Amino acid sequence: MPPTLTPTLTPTLTLAAFLQQPETTPPQEYINGQTWPKPMAKGKHSLLQTRLVSAINQHALPDRRAHAFTELRCTVGDRSLVPDLSIFTWPRIPLSPEGDIADHFDIAPDWTIEILSPDQNQTRVINNILHLLNHGTELGWLIDPSERTILTFQAQQQPHLHDQPTDPLPTLPCLTPWTLSPGEIFSWLHLIP
């Protein structure tokens, strides 16, 4: 049985105080006054994260439609989260006064993707996706490599379970007609030619 991640109990820690602390490895998330460690990526998680960010950026960057980021801290509402992938449409990417990308993202991504790790609490991950949807995120994916399923969340809609290899997965409107399917995503895990 995989170990369970538990929060660091710091009842007097505010969000502002949490954000003043140095970053840790693995990163910590701030949820309801507690800090929770993100699990270290293992093989399947790391491979899917790397391939997804590459596939999305290959499609989105040439026309500056969107940008996918890995492990980017997004602070919205009363939480500071580090989704596995955060995708922002181009006009919403925060910039510094000099026009460089900002260091702090105090807005929800347009699309968030989480890849479930064996030692991760599925309910907490879904709760974080729902929190982001309540703060402006349009689309969320929860990828479960062990079950070979992808649960998608869209604002104002019921979640949808994609368990068929050819199911077209929803993406951001600015990226259509491009789509991915669970079969394509999970085929990346098979490295033997």
Q: Answer whether residue 119 is part of any domain.
A: yes
Mean pLDDT of 127-133: 97
- The tens digit of pLDDT for each residue in 97-126 reads 999 999 999 999 999 999 998 888 899 999
Is the four-CA dihedral 45, 179, 132, 71 of positive or negative sign?
A: positive
Q: Output DSSP code: residue 163.
A: -
For the cut 80, the answer to whether the pLDDT of residue 4 exceeds it is no
Would you say how long the chain is, in residues? 193
pLDDT value at residue 2:
46
Q: Which residue has the higher pLDDT, 150 or 13?
A: 150
Which band of pLDDT confidence, cut at 50, 70 and 90, is reported for residue 193?
low
**Cβ–Cβ under 8 Å, residues 157 and 165:** no
Give burial (CB, 10 Å; 0-12/13-18/19+) of 27. middle
- The tens digit of pLDDT for each residue in 136-188 reads 999 999 999 999 999 999 988 999 999 999 999 999 999 999 999 999 999 99
**Cβ–Cβ under 8 Å, residues 154 and 111:** no
Which band of pLDDT confidence, cut at 50, 70 and 90, is reported for residue 28?
confident
Q: What is the DSSP string of 45-61?
A: HHHHHHHHHHHHHHHHT
Q: Is the peptide bond before 177 cis (omega within 30 degrees of 0)?
A: yes
b/e burial code for range 149-183 (CB count within 10 A of at least 16 → b): bbbbbeeeeeeeebeeeebebbbbebbeeeebbbe
For the cut 70, the answer to whether the pLDDT of residue 11 exceeds it is no
Structural domain tally of the chain?
A: 1
Spatial distance between the Cα atoms of 86 and 2, rounded to a whole number of angstroms: 26
Which band of pLDDT confidence, cut at 50, 70 and 90, is reported for residue 77?
very high
- The tens digit of pLDDT for each residue in 33-71 reads 888 888 888 899 999 999 999 999 999 999 999 999 999
pLDDT value at residue 19:
83
Q: Find the CATH number of the domain harbouring 135.
A: 3.90.1570.10
Q: Answer whether residue 133 is part of any domain.
A: yes
Q: Answer whether residue 25 is part of any domain.
A: no
Q: Which residue has the higher pLDDT, 10 or 186?
A: 186
Spatial distance between the Cα atoms of 174 and 17, rounded to a whole number of angstroms: 37
Domain residues for 101? Answer: 38-187
pTM of this structure? 0.89
Mean pLDDT of 4-20: 69
Q: Answer whether residue 56 is part of any domain.
A: yes
Q: Answer whether residue 2 is part of any domain.
A: no
pLDDT value at residue 114:
98
For the cut 60, the answer to whether the pLDDT of residue 10 exceeds it is no
Spatial distance between the Cα atoms of 153 and 130, rounded to a whole number of angstroms: 8
Spatial distance between the Cα atoms of 146 and 182, rounded to a whole number of angstroms: 13
For the cut 90, the answer to whether the pLDDT of residue 88 exceeds it is yes
